[in-house]
Chains A and B, each alone.
Chain A
Amino acid sequence: MAEFVMPKLGADMEFGTLVVWRKQPGQMIHRGEILAEVETAKGVIEAEAFASGTIERLLTQPGEKVPIGTVMAVIRDNGAAAAVTAPGPTPVRPEPTVVATAIPAAPSSPPVDQTRLRISPAARRLAQERGVDPASVKGTGRGGAIMSEDIERAAAAKAALAVTAPLVAAPSTADKAAAMRQVIAAAMARSKREIPHYYLSTTIDMHRALNWLEQENARRPITNRLLYGALLLKAAALALREVPELNAVWQRDHVELKPAVHVGVAISLRQGGLVAPALHDTDRLTLDELMKNLLDLVSRARSGRLRGSEMSDPTITVTSLGEQGVEAVFGVIYPPQVALVGFGKIVERPWSVEGEIVSRPVITATLSADHRVSDGHRGAIFLAAVDRLLQEPEKL
């Protein structure tokens, strides 16, 4: 048997509301196929199954709001029995729990006697800092001891519940926008509070890239044309191979490098707010594949059809505000990621070429990075690699 759990679809998500099941008991499902639609503060997300088999039971009803990690369905493996869960740090709960109270930490836990609370000094200190009552937290340490990560989880859940509360009762568009704004606010405030950012920028000559693109698009059918944004994404993704510590996530007290490059593409939504879903394996895609996948991703992001893995997988974010006339973007890192790359507007500037001043289209590329993970020297190597790669667009 495999379990389908409420997936964690973003750094700040602690709960999700089941909108609809796409499969019913008795039906077959394959790994990666959409099993459910889940509402989060960032919209309705299509959640994929992480195992193949036959739907045995559905344990959550549409409209139910459950914490991440809650078992929502059981999938019968037609071969050997195996428990498979969606990725995420929260342990699977034995039973689904409808969240209805303000303290989400462990609604199904029995009351804990404060005088016998087993909690490490560090966790107790953290609980005070985060405003969490340790008595309401279920410990996951030895003998049920409350660890720092339990406090962190409870604090995050408390914040998430506060911001997702408007979603419980048929939220209006304005409520959804407000909820998304609050989620963004929580993530950005956490980022600025916890991540020691450093910022670098460089100006890149784009004339080779744009000339190549113009010639390339002139010979391509209308359905296969490229946008310069595709070149920027590919260059950033390839540059990460040279500075892999920027393609990583920060987990509590250490960095975890990610072997695959899943660039989160910042996409503004027409109703307000933004999402940054993953463009999977960005560095391995051809420009044609990248462009096709990007069009699909933007289209689905703006129509509310993103998939769970796209929300949970980004390993770095790339944002571009050039079309709004901005020349440089110094972004705020989206935790737990450790870097964000920004591109501004392409502008004509005087440029020195072999002693001659000429006019060139240039773009400002910026890097916001986590100083716990990388130093300015490595960040500079990354931006230099982006520049170098964009000078040979035909090799991207």
Chain B
Amino acid sequence: MTSDEIRSTVIEALCQVAPEADPAQLRSNISFRSQLDIDSMDFLRFVLALHEKLGIDIPEKDYPRLTTLDGCITYLTRPGSS
């Protein structure tokens, strides 16, 4: 997948748990938690949505790398991630 496709998928997954999120307003280097009031339950649902959409396993130790849009794109576009 291209970086743009990953970005769209991440935003889609994010909007599943935070339907009020406005993708146009989302700042890519600021944590989802501070922008969208995402808690651990939302975050788990977000990771599960990424897993469903991309068919990849994400170890729990990697969760901290998925807290921003930039972080997600970097992590999910790395070699061997999908």
The distance from the CB of B74 to the nearest CB of chain A, in whole angstroms, is: 19
Q: How far is the CA of A317 from the CA of B45 in the complex (A)?
A: 23
The distance from the CB of B44 to the nearest CB of chain A, in whole angstroms, is: 6
Q: Do B60 and A295 have beta carbons less than 8 Å apart?
A: no
The distance from the CB of A325 to the nearest CB of chain B, in whole angstroms, is: 11
- Please tell me if A294 contacts chain B, counting CB pairs below 8 Å: yes
- Please tell me if A286 contacts chain B, counting CB pairs below 8 Å: no
The interface residues of chain A lying within 8 Å CB-to-CB of B51 are 222-223
The interface residues of chain B lying within 8 Å CB-to-CB of A229 are 40-41
Q: Do B60 and A225 have beta carbons less than 8 Å apart?
A: yes
Q: Which residues of A (256-270) have their CB < 8 Å from a CB of B?
A: 268, 270
The interface residues of chain A lying within 8 Å CB-to-CB of B37 are 270
Q: Do B18 and A270 have beta carbons less than 8 Å apart?
A: yes
- Please tell me if A24 contacts chain B, counting CB pairs below 8 Å: no
Q: How far is the CA of A270 from the CA of B51 in the complex (A)?
A: 23
Q: How far is the CA of A155 from the CA of B71 in the complex (A)?
A: 55
The distance from the CB of A306 to the nearest CB of chain B, in whole angstroms, is: 15
Q: Do B47 and A295 have beta carbons less than 8 Å apart?
A: no
Q: How far is the CA of A217 from the CA of B44 in the complex (A)?
A: 12
The distance from the CB of A8 to the nearest CB of chain B, in whole angstroms, is: 28
Which listed residue (B41, B48, B60) contacts A214, Cβ 8 A?
A: B60
Q: Which residues of B (40-67) have their CB < 8 Å from a CB of A?
A: 40-41, 44-45, 47-48, 51, 57-61
Q: How far is the CA of A227 from the CA of B44 in the complex (A)?
A: 8
The interface residues of chain A lying within 8 Å CB-to-CB of B41 are 227, 229, 294-295, 298
- 8 more A-B contacts (CB under 8 A) besides A222-B57, A298-B45, A323-B40? A214-B60, A225-B60, A227-B41, A229-B40, A229-B41, A270-B18, A299-B45, A323-B39
Chain A interface (Cβ < 8 Å from any Cβ of B): 214, 217-218, 221-223, 225, 227, 229, 268, 270-271, 294-295, 298-299, 303, 323
Chain B interface (Cβ < 8 Å from any Cβ of A): 18-20, 37, 39-41, 44-45, 47-48, 51, 57-61
